């Protein structure tokens, strides 16, 4: 049994500046457990972080920046949660400060999540030529061995959300680390998203003949769903990464996990995906509708699909066709005819 949902999930879990036929694709109902402050408006600045302001009677205007923090959820997955942090000139250092246990994240930590870095850890960050060099204090080594890979993934994915960072180097007390200090996990010279996250090698017999592809499944529970990136190993016999990602979404997550997919098992692409000028066009069979009436497509399915495909280099928008036509509608009955772009931030809740 895989984790395909036979009944479609109907609540969306993040809002963004994404538009689809004039309608925001990501985010419907308020998710109480993971919402940032509700009186925040989104705008873009030159650092590609979303900044906002909040003003209360008798107080100064507070400027905040939407930042993705890769935290550990109750099931042990490393998951992005977008929180509104005080605006600063040192956004990378601040992001790491908010990954520290008993640190400033304590007041805004979503229910069921925990930070990855040991209490008392301090970090300094310098960024040059796309490389973020991070130097941690000695407290960095005070973690449980089981968290070692999660720490590496959290640091890497948190820092590479910033468009000035492509890879990460780690040191402790000024000495560059070639392996983690507790369980000796090797550290490559430049950590990047290509290293993967929440890596799933189940059912892979020959890992040497595979490559990584990251897709987004659905985690959480009713009323507070969120998207979880999982790096699967796919066979090199499948040359097209887009097809490989769609196949993994259809197959669903490891059956022993608590994650789910909104793709039905009989969803198929009618022809090869077309990629042009950053847009990928996909033509599905009728099974993409799942349990909905004809032409109605699940919001969670769209969200997972767009997040998964725009994770790939060179793709920033997704066009969905069914039987060669784009006359789809969302769960609210609005037409969805324009290509969909990736949201600026992931798992923001609704506003």
Query: For residue range 35-73, what is the model confidence (pLDDT) as tens digits?
Result: 333 333 333 333 445 556 555 455 566 799 999 999 999
- The C-alpha atoms of residue 236 and residue 212 are separated, in whole angstroms, by 10
Q: Does residue 188 fall inside a structural domain? A: yes
The distance in angstroms from the start CA to the end CA of the chain is 36
pTM of the model: 0.84
Evaluate if residue 6 carries a pLDDT over 90.
no
Range of the domain at 175: 65-194
Q: Does residue 50 fall inside a structural domain? A: no
pLDDT at residue 61 in the model: 67
Cα-Cα-Cα-Cα torsion 57, 59, 61, 67, nearest 10 degrees, comes to -100
Q: Does residue 106 fall inside a structural domain? A: yes
pLDDT at residue 60 in the model: 64
Evaluate if residue 87 carries a pLDDT over 90.
yes
Region of poorest pLDDT, from 44-53, 75-84, 244-253: 44-53
pLDDT at residue 53 in the model: 59
Q: Does residue 154 fall inside a structural domain? A: yes
- The C-alpha atoms of residue 101 and residue 118 are separated, in whole angstroms, by 6
Q: What are phi and psi of 19, to 5 degrees?
A: -125, 140
Q: Does residue 90 fall inside a structural domain? A: yes
- The C-alpha atoms of residue 311 and residue 329 are separated, in whole angstroms, by 24
Q: Does residue 128 fall inside a structural domain? A: yes
Cα Rg for the chain, rounded, in angstroms?
A: 20
- The C-alpha atoms of residue 255 and residue 252 are separated, in whole angstroms, by 8
Q: Does residue 94 fall inside a structural domain? A: yes
pLDDT at residue 50 in the model: 53
Region of poorest pLDDT, from 30-44, 207-221, 282-296, 318-332: 30-44
Q: Does residue 247 fall inside a structural domain? A: no
241: which 2 tokens?
Answer: 């990464």
* Number of separate domains in the chain: 1
pLDDT at residue 277 in the model: 96
Q: What percent of the chain has pLDDT over 90?
A: 72
Which band of pLDDT confidence, cut at 50, 70 and 90, is reported for residue 330?
confident
Q: Which residues pair with 167 in a beta bridge?
A: 131
pLDDT at residue 62 in the model: 76
pLDDT at residue 351 in the model: 27
Evaluate if residue 34 carries a pLDDT over 50.
no
């Amino acid at each position: 049994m895989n984790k395909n949902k036979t009944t479609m999930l109907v609540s969306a879990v993040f809002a963004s500046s994404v538009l689809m036929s004039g309608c925001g694709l990501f985010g419907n109902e308020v998710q109480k457990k993971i919402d940032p402050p509700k009186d925040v408006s989104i705008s873009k600045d030159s650092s590609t972080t979303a900044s906002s302001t909040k003003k209360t009677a008798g107080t100064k205007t507070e400027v905040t920046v939407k930042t993705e923090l890769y935290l550990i959820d109750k099931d042990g997955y490393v998951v992005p949660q977008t929180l509104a942090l005080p605006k600063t000139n040192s956004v990378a250092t601040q992001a790491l400060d908010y990954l520290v246990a008993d640190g400033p994240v304590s007041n805004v930590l979503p229910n069921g999540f925990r930070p990855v870095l040991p209490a008392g850890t301090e970090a300094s960050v310098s960024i040059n030529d796309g490389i973020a060099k991070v130097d941690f204090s000695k407290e960095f080594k005070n973690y449980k061995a089981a968290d070692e890979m999660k720490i590496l993934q959290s640091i890497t994915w948190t820092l590479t959300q910033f468009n000035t960072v492509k890879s990460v180097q780690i040191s402790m007390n000024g000495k560059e680390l070639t392996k983690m200090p507790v369980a000796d996990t090797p550290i490559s010279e430049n950590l990047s998203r290509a290293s993967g996250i929440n890596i799933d090698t189940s059912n892979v017999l020959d890992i040497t003949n595979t490559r990584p592809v990251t897709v987004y499944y659905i985690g959480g529970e009713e009323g507070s769903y969120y998207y979880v990136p999982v790096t699967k190993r796919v066979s090199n016999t499948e040359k097209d990464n887009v097809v490989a990602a769609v196949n993994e979404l259809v197959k669903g997550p490891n059956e022993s996990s608590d994650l789910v997919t909104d793709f039905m098992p009989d969803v198929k692409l009618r022809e090869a995906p077309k990629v042009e000028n950053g847009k990928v066009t996909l033509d599905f069979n009728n099974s993409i509708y799942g349990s909905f009436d004809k032409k109605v497509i699940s919001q969670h399915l769209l969200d997972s699909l767009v997040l998964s495909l725009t994770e790939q280099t060179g793709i920033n928008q997704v066009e969905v066709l069914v039987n060669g036509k784009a006359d789809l509608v969302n769960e609210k009955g609005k037409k969805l005819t324009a290509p969909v772009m990736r949201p600026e931030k992931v798992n923001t809740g609704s506003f």
